[in-house]
A and B are shown apart, each in its own frame.
Chain A
Amino acid sequence: MTQMEYAKPRSFKELDGIFESAKGPLRFIAGGTNVVPDLRAGTISPRLLVDLSGLKEMAYIREVKGEIAIGALSTISDILASRVICDKAPLLFQAARHLGSPLTRNRATIGGNLADASPAADTAPSLLAMGAMVHTRRRRGKERTIPLDRFFLGPNKTILAKDEIITRITFAKPKDPSRGRYLKLGLRNAMTISVASLAVSLEPEGSSFGGARIGLGAVAPTPVRAYLVEKKLASGAMDPKNIEACAQLITKEISPISDIRASADYRKRVVAVLFQRAIQAAVNGGTP
């Protein structure tokens, strides 16, 4: 580990000051559950580490006018303890429950989970399936809002500029929270990185799937939406035949890699399985 400077701003103003005086590459840190291992492994070597955990105003979870907003510094444990998330966005609750261990969840933040841009980021599929937006802030208060499906550019790469931080994540309150299901497959039941993960969110209209949204993890260079499948689902009937056809299609829509955890072929096979189970559960409004 090389030597580096450390700064912990207490306000956006202080953060702007740090930007003005920073020399060389800087790196943001919040919970540190990704950054610290990366530093130890030497895969990153910033000159300056900017600790965002002092920006207390970014830790909140609230519902305003049919929209749920989660401050970027909310920890995964905060999300699990939130009545709002538990009742109104259980799809995110399910994903949060599968992230790491209690120790990790107590430190890791939702902003960090997205900013790290791991293809296997646990909260990403659910947030994608709920059509989440990422709100950011750049130097001197310049803000923008980015749909999550345009946020990730590649493994550990996002659209964020060097001086840009995530301030909050928002999404419309799901119409029927019970119509969402997150499933994760790893080599064990907890404290494991996904071999594949999938979230579906349905808004059935009569006998059709209506506005179905599907988020996928660990099966492409970034967490992705399965747009072709969503379209096919919506255009067909809510029946086993359509689900089966979509399960076939989903293996074509993804581009998984082979790595230490699984081969591309295995990922394709199990994504189809996860998809069928998740859809079934979402249709039933309960467990698979």
Chain B
Amino acid sequence: MVRKTYSTIGRTTRRKDGVSKVTGREIFASDVVLPQMLHARVLRSPYPHARVVSIATAEAEAMGAVCLTPSDCPAWLYNERQVSIPEKTYRDRTVLPETARHVGEGIAAVAAKTEALAEQALGQLAVTYEPLPSVFDPWEAMAPEAPRLYKDIFLGDVVLPIERNIACFREMREGEVEQGFRESDVVVEQEFRTGRVYHHQMETKGVVCRPEPDGGISVWPTAQSIHNVRQLLGRIFNIPLSKINVHRIPIGGSFGSSIQMNTCIAICAALALKAGRPVRLVLTREEDLYDHCKYPSLIRLKFGVKKDGAIVAGEMTTVVDIGAHNIQAYPLLGCMAGWFVSLYRMPHMHFQGTAVYTNKAPACAMQGYGNPQVSFAVESLIDVIAERLNMDPIDVRLKNYVGLGETFWGQGPTVRSVIRSCGVEEMLQKGKDLIGWESRNRPEARSGRFRRGIGVGRSFHTSGTGAPMSGEVIDYSTALVKFNEDGSVDCLTPLMCHGGGTLEALTKIVSEETGVPLSKVEISPADTRSTGYDVCTHATRGVYCGGASARRAAQQARGILLQFASRILEVNPEALKIRPDEDLGQGVIYLEGAKGKSITVGEVAKTAQIKSWGTAIAVVSHRQVNCPPCFVTNFIEVEVDTETGRIRPVRAVAAVDAGTVINPDLAAGQLEGGLCRGIGLALLEDTDYDPRSGALTCGGNITDCKIFTALEMPLTEDVATFFAETEEPSGPFGAKGVGEAANNCTAGAVANAVANALGLRFTDAPMLPEKVLARWTDYLREKRGA
């Protein structure tokens, strides 16, 4: 297919926020300093489960500290995530709880003139706890005699009793799965696990809150959705939204950790309101590690296939250990079902998912939202099928993948749409050539200490959560675009950039649409009072959904500008076009073929102002009615040291079908970053708890909670990234997403490469050296015995 050529879209350009970031001049939440500002610290439970009987604050207050205890806080139960519709939102927590349900849960807070003083005051709080029995294993938690974390919570506005610690359960069926298995020639079944990975975003969560004289509050938070922070604060503290202003401030990475309104924001807001002064609260790394993690997975997966490799039936059962709070387990289970059914066609399917409370730090969304976990299982089992049928793993994938024209519901059963762009085949074919698939040997052909193997994995993520009908999840965006009097353009959006270049992409989309050079298009500072609603920058929706609203606003503003120009040029506005002129630093409005009938955007905007015609400005609130998959494919070669069990990725090919790519270098960077975290999920990352104390075995320190760095990745020259040549009809200039997709297929590709290297398959990630060495030793022993 021939790609359209664009003036700005798809060009590698210097990042607009690059200079401020590399020179350290960017202001993050923790850098905000306000007059009279106090510093807060949070007292955290040393017990995994304990009733807070009393908190004596007199001594801390005598030191001049403002103290916050549960009795100071509104009793209203909230859920920090505001993306689902209210009826599907599970509410189980308060600003400060009367019962701590995991080690590290905040139970009281102080604010003082300095952080050191706050720390001292914290030490003076005298807390009486009544320790309660705790439970850390989801299976034990479901036993009738297990300690209960909750008696009841709220689902929407309805009281929801919690039985056997089951936070929620979902089941979905299509066709007749038992019949499907009976009709299959081969049935394969295995159990898969992935770890309780910590997000490891560079910036720990933080916030500054300033109470306003009118009873309102201003907030500078680490957040992926300023509007959801505002709505939740308004509801918790009963403040009109018109008096709450949440500012967008750059975030030091997220990986999904700030989709929800971070709980420290509610604590800080309560402190600021009580103190009547601005308060700053920034979590330490230890606190952050106790604040959230990725949903771990335990998946039982079964496929029935015909001899020719066609999948007939699939069944997935999962138990998710969500920790102490139900942040978004219900949509997670819907998505896990969606990821499962949307990767490969299966006429008969059955999905069962159970989310279980335990006394651990709560799990929340993290890059892929269940998709890396599901794809790890599915992609592993697809290779098992290939092995059983003696087929090429790529052929099994090509035979079964859900592609062009087919319905898919990646984001769960209420988010259904038809696939209109698909680069699956192209990526498999090209990737195969790049990695040298044809030279891939069988494991029996290898010997010696170092064994190399090549594996493939594919997956996808959805671009947003839009659909023709509104479902259980909210999805729309608002953007404002205006032409300034010198011909430059402002774009105002509450969208967030997590580092991947989302806002950068929006400037390119607006530049392309308005014809104004990129150097003259800027993103305005945003806050909740001056922007329309956007649900959240999550779900790989920034460019596809947020970009689409910006493009529509740009289109409308452009229409107004051309009306003004038509008055000056005496030409019908429909006939006018705009092209960027880099030398002039202006968009130039012109009539094709007519010399003299041209004028710069700046002249038109200035004339419109002088003559009081008005400003070319437009605001658009827009919902995408599609949810196109951005497909990904990884080919990875690993080398296993059979003496130490260490697995080293040595070569990789990472490809994405992102439709039209807006920021090529940043999209390639996302692929590389996703590869790194995906390899980490497969080989290294996890958090574990000491069942006696309920504390993290790493103690909350990253000393023993590592992620891989560039040093563990293949050399730069051994990593190839490329983009499928597709265009998404519903996307802005044909664009889809990249973000989460980038890591979704990696763990599966690594597992398949290891299986190809050793002839031994690992189904429980992370594949730590010690585990690999032990299994390899057993495997050799069995082989010798046999």
Contact = CB atoms under 8 A, between A and B. Distances in A.
Given A2-B123, A266-B770, A187 B697 contact: no
Contacts of A48: none
B712 A188 contact: yes
A190 interface: yes
A2 to B, nearest CB: 7
Contacts of B123: 2
Interface stretch (A168-176, A212-220, A222-230, A257-265): A257-265
Given A266-B770, A270-B644, A191 B684 contact: no
A260 B697 contact: yes
B770 A263 contact: yes
A193 interface: yes
Interface string A26-67: 000000000001000100000000000000000000000000
A94 B770 CA distance: 25
A1 B699 contact: no
Interface stretch (B571-579, B703-711, B724-732, B748-756): B703-711
A207 interface: no
A187 B644 contact: no
B61 interface: no
B704 A193 contact: yes
B643 interface: yes
B768 interface: yes
A7 interface: no
Contact of B704 (A1, A3, A260, A266): A260
Contacts of A11: none
Contacts of A191: 706, 709
A1 B119 CA distance: 7
B643 A188 contact: no
Contacts of B155: none
A150 interface: no
A189 interface: yes
B711 A273 contact: no
How many of chain B's residues touch chain A, expressed as a range?
Answer: 20 to 34
Nearest to B123: A2
Contact of A187 (B120, B699, B706, B774): B706
Contacts of A117: none
A41 B703 CA distance: 13
Contacts of B709: 188-191
A259 to B, nearest CB: 9
A3 B644 contact: no
B419 interface: no
A185 interface: yes
A13 interface: no
A273 B644 contact: yes
Contacts of B699: 41
Nearest to B449: A273
B698 interface: yes
B498 to A, nearest CB: 24
Contacts of B768: 187
A162 interface: no
B711 A188 contact: yes
Nearest to B646: A185
B310 interface: no
A3 B773 contact: no
Residue in B646, B698, B704, B770 with the greatest tally of chain A CB atoms within 10 Å: B770
A84 to B, nearest CB: 28
A269 interface: yes
Interface string B646-688: 1000000000000000000000000000000000000010001
Interface string A250-287: 00000000001111001001100100000000000000
Contacts of A193: 703-704
A13 to B, nearest CB: 32
Interface in A180-200: 185, 187-193, 195
A227 B716 CA distance: 43
Given A41-B699, A273-B644, A188 B706 contact: yes
Nearest to B116: A1
Contacts of A41: 699, 701
Contacts of B773: 266, 269-270
A3 B63 CA distance: 14
A260 B705 CA distance: 10
Nearest to A192: B706
Given A2-B123, A3-B120, A273-B643, A190 B711 contact: yes
Interface in B761-786: 768-770, 773-774
A192 B709 CA distance: 11
B208 to A, nearest CB: 23
Contacts of B704: 193, 260-261
Interface in B339-392: none
Contacts of B698: 260
B119 A187 contact: no
Given A2-B123, A41-B699, A188 B770 contact: no
B523 to A, nearest CB: 33
Contacts of B119: 1
A261 B688 CA distance: 12
Given A3-B120, A260-B698, A187 B703 contact: no
A240 to B, nearest CB: 15
A189 B644 contact: no
A178 to B, nearest CB: 24
Nearest to B688: A260
A47 to B, nearest CB: 16
A226 to B, nearest CB: 19
A2 B121 CA distance: 11
Contact of B708 (A37, A188, A269): A188
Interface in B487-535: none
A189 B769 CA distance: 13
B643 A262 contact: no
B697 A189 contact: no
Residue in A2, A185, A266 with the greatest tally of chain B CB atoms within 10 Å: A266
Contacts of B712: 188-189
B63 to A, nearest CB: 12
Given A2-B123, A262-B770, A269-B773, A188 B684 contact: yes
Contacts of A269: 773
A35 to B, nearest CB: 15
B431 to A, nearest CB: 27
Contacts of B688: 260
Contacts of A185: 644, 646
Nearest to B648: A189
A115 to B, nearest CB: 19
Given A187-B769, A266-B770, 7 more contacts: A2-B123, A41-B699, A188-B684, A188-B709, A191-B709, A260-B698, A266-B645
4 tightest A-B CB contacts, nearest first: A266-B770, A189-B711, A273-B643, A260-B697
Interface of B: 119-120, 123, 643-646, 684, 688, 697-699, 701, 703-704, 706, 708-709, 711-712, 768-770, 773-774
22 contacts: A1-B119, A3-B120, A37-B701, A37-B703, A41-B699, A41-B701, A185-B646, A187-B684, A187-B706, A188-B684, A188-B709, A188-B712, A189-B711, A189-B712, A191-B709, A193-B704, A260-B688, A260-B704, A261-B704, A263-B770, A266-B769, A269-B773
